[in-house]
Amino acid sequence: MVCKNNKTTISRYLDGLLNEDENKSIQEHLNDCPECRNFYEENKAIMTLIEAPDQVLPSPYLYSKIRKNIEAMENRPAALKWLRPVLVPTLVALTFLLFGLTSTLFFRNLAGRSGALARGSGAELNLQVFNDAPQSSLAQAYTQITGVRK
Amino acid sequence: MPDDHDGADDRELMDRIVNKDEKAFRQIFERHQNRVFNLAYRYTGSYHDAEEITQDVFLKVYKNANSFQHGSSLGTWLYRIAINTAMNFKRKKRLATESLDQINEPGSMRDEPAAAITQNPEEIYKRKKRRELIQSALDSLPPNQRAAFVLAQFEGMTYLEISKVLSVSIAAVESLIYRARQSLVVKLRPLIDRGELDRKF
């Protein structure tokens, strides 16, 4: 187990962030503490293992590709340039409007049907399911309230 | 240090780019393309991805030249755009191709360089496996940790420079690098234990 407070100090030591006194102190500690020494060596090993890969040269055609992109960007029809900030909010607004209209019509239609059902008699709908409802049952209460009879 | 080309010239060129001066843009590209490309290459581990990122970075430079502030360094500004573009690129790519195996992607660091022809097949295979392991360990780091680690380890930037590029405090940079290194120690312990430190990534 590495001494708790020394982990970050060792890391700072590896990155050359300590002053002279701190360097000396941590070096002494590393000589005396095998766990911290191990922690130090593993971290140092990572820095050695993952060296920067050799510099690579980009393709000589890279600039012409970028130029093409810039030309495409600049030659985009002027109408599209100003349409985009207008078109997107308009489409969003239209979607909301359409959704609002559809739901209003749907609920109005539903309300109309429920109203017809509430207003209409059981006879109209040929609703005779509660004819033989037992005394004091919910079904009997329903027949009294709505007037559904034999 | 990203500032060796900075100075009045770069700033003057940026002013000219604002006015769509193609020559100025070409000069900025010629001066900085290698750094941007290599940063992207080291971050992604892929030649092809690095090219796409570099294109994107210079397109952004062209489009946003007017947002470059003269008080700041062009190098830092470019690095910031490059690292953010690379992080976004990797994020999008990971989402798009999470399940695809990219190990054998052409032009990737995972491929063997031409010099490897002189090595024996077993050595080539071991080297390839080692690279895959290292790249996979780097890929598994969270984007910010990876960016800080790449800038410190591969670009040799100081914590102060990294803090400017990533727009975070120096303490945050220290913490990001510390955590990145601890994750890498855990993931690459088999390589450390096998004593494979004499070979380069």
Instruction: Please report where in the chains the tokens 């290599």 appear, as a residue.
Output: B38
Q: B158 and B94, same structural domain?
A: no
> What pLDDT, on a 0 to 100 scale, did the predictor assign at position B63?
93
Q: pLDDT band at residue A119, thresholds of 50, 70 and 90?
A: low
Q: What is the pLDDT of residue B144?
A: 94
Domain shared by B1 and B92, yes or no:
yes
**pLDDT value for A148:** 55
For chain A, give every domain's residue range. Answer: 6-49, 113-150
Rounded to a whole number of angstroms, the distance from the CA of B180 to the nearest CA of chain A is 10
Nearest CA in chain B to A53: B201
Question: Averaging pLDDT over each range in B89-93, B124-128, B194-198, which range is the top one?
Answer: B89-93
Tokens of B171: 């303490």
* pLDDT-wise least confident of A5-9, A41-45, A80-84, B184-188: A80-84
Q: Are B143 and B91 in contact (CB under 8 A)?
A: yes
Provide the 8-state DSSP code for A50. Answer: S
B chain contacts of residue A69, beta-carbon cutoff 8 Å: 55, 59
Is residue B85 classed as helix, strand or coil in its secondary structure?
Answer: helix
Would residue B105 count as lying in a domain? no
pLDDT band at B72 (very low <50, low <70, confident <90, very high): confident
CB contact under 8 Å between A49 and B42, yes or no, is no
Which of A99-113, B45-59, B107-121, B182-196 has the least mean pLDDT?
Answer: B107-121
Q: If you average pLDDT over each of A29-38, B111-120, B190-199, which comes out highest?
A: A29-38
Q: Could you say which of A12, A62, A69 has the minimum Cβ distance to residue B33? A: A62
Q: Average pLDDT for residues A39-55, to the nearest whole number? A: 87
Looking up tokens 């843009």, which residue turns up?
A: B25
Q: Residues 129..148 of A with a Cβ closer than 8 Å to B: which?
A: none
Boundary residue ending a domain (B98, B131, B149): B98
Evaluate if residue A93 carries a pLDDT over 50: yes
Partners of B108 in the β-ladder:
B46
Å between B21 CA and nearest CA of chain A: 12
Element (H, E) at A22: helix A20-32
Does the pLDDT of residue A37 top 50, yes or no? Answer: yes
Q: How far is CA A121 from CA A110, A150, B43, B154, B175, in A?
A: 18, 11, 76, 84, 77
Question: How far is the C-alpha of B74 from the C-alpha of B35, rounded, in Å?
Answer: 12
User: Which has the minimum average pLDDT: A61-75, B84-98, B133-147?
Assistant: B84-98
Distance in angstroms (rounded) separating the CA atoms of residues A54 and A59? 16
**Residue with the larger pLDDT of the pair B46 and B123:** B46
Q: A47 in contact with B at a CB cutoff of 8 Å?
A: yes
Structure confidence at residue A133 as a pLDDT band (50, 70, 90): low
| pLDDT for the residue B4 | 47
Cβ–Cβ under 8 Å, residues B143 and B87: yes
Q: Which of B61, B197, B199 to probe by mutation at the A interface, max A CB count within 10 Å? A: B197
Q: What is the rounded average pLDDT of the residues B1-29?
A: 79
Give the nearest partner residue to B185 out of A17, A42, A57, using CB atoms.
A42
Dihedral of CA atoms B140, B46, B67, B171 in degrees, nearest 10, equals: 30
**Closest by Cα among B198, B157, B185 to B39:** B157
Question: Residue-wise over B122-150: b if at least 16 C-beta within 10 A, else e?
Answer: eeeeebbebbbbbbebbeebebbbbbbbb
Mean pLDDT throughout A64-91?
A: 81
- Please give the pLDDT value at position A127: 54
Does the residue B111 lie in any domain?
no
Interface probe, candidates A56, A68, A76, chain B, greatest B C-beta count within 10 A: A56
Q: How far is CA A147 from the centre of its chain?
A: 54
Q: Which pLDDT does position A5 carry in this prediction?
A: 66
Within a domain: B113: no
Computed over every residue of chain B, the mean pLDDT equals 83
Look at residue B1 in the predicted model and tell me its pLDDT: 47
Together in a domain, B9 and B76? yes
Residue in the structure block whose two tokens are 């947002």: B67
Same domain, B64 and B23: yes
Subunit contact A62:B109, Cβ cutoff 8 A: no
Shortest distance between the Cα of A146 and any Cα of chain B, in A, equals: 59
Structural domain boundaries, residue B53? 1-98
Residue type, position B21, single letter: D
The predicted pLDDT at position B5 comes to 47
Look at A116 and A19; give whichever has higher pLDDT. A19
DSSP state of B197: T
Q: Which of A42-51, A129-138, B32-41, B76-85 is least confident?
A: A129-138
Average pLDDT over residues A20-39: 92
Residue B200 reports pLDDT greater than 50: no
Pairwise CB contact (< 8 Å): A17 & B181: no
Q: What is the DSSP-derived secondary structure letter of residue A76?
A: S
Chain A CB contacts of B139 under 8 Å are none
Is residue B174 included in any domain, yes or no? Answer: yes
Judge whether B61 and B17 are in contact, CB under 8 Å.
yes
Average pLDDT over residues B21-42: 93
Question: Do B82 and B124 sit in the same domain of this protein?
Answer: no
pLDDT of residue B126: 80
Q: Count of domains in chain B? A: 2
Rounded to a whole number of angstroms, the distance from the CA of A43 to the nearest CA of chain B is: 7
Q: Which residues of A touch B145 (CB under 8 A)?
A: none
Q: Let me know if residue B181 belongs to a domain.
A: yes
- Report the residue of A14, A47, A65, A66 to disrupt the B interface, i.e. the one with the largest count of B CBs within 10 Å: A66
Q: Which is more confident, A84 or B48?
A: B48
Instruction: Write out chain B residues lying below 8 Å of A58, CB-based.
Output: 33-34, 37, 50-51, 54
For A50, other C-beta atoms within 10 Å of its C-beta total 22
Residue carrying structure tokens 């060296």: A51
Distances (CA, A) of A137 to A127, A128, A131, A145: 17, 16, 12, 13
Does the distance separating the beta carbons of B201 and A49 come in below 8 Å? yes
Q: How far apart are CA A68 and CA B36, in angstroms?
A: 19
Q: How many helices (H) and strands (E) does chain A have?
A: 6, 0
Is residue A82 exposed (0-12), middle (13-18) or buried (19+ Cβ within 10 Å)?
Answer: exposed
Both B124 and B77 in one domain: the answer is no
The domain spanning residue B75 has which CATH number? 1.10.1740.10
Q: What is the CATH number of the domain that holds B136?
A: 1.10.10.10
Per-residue pLDDT tens for B84-118? 999 999 888 877 765 454 444 444 454 444 444 55
Give B148's strand partners. none
Identify all chain B residues contacting A62, using CB atoms and an 8 Å cutoff: 33, 37, 51, 54-55
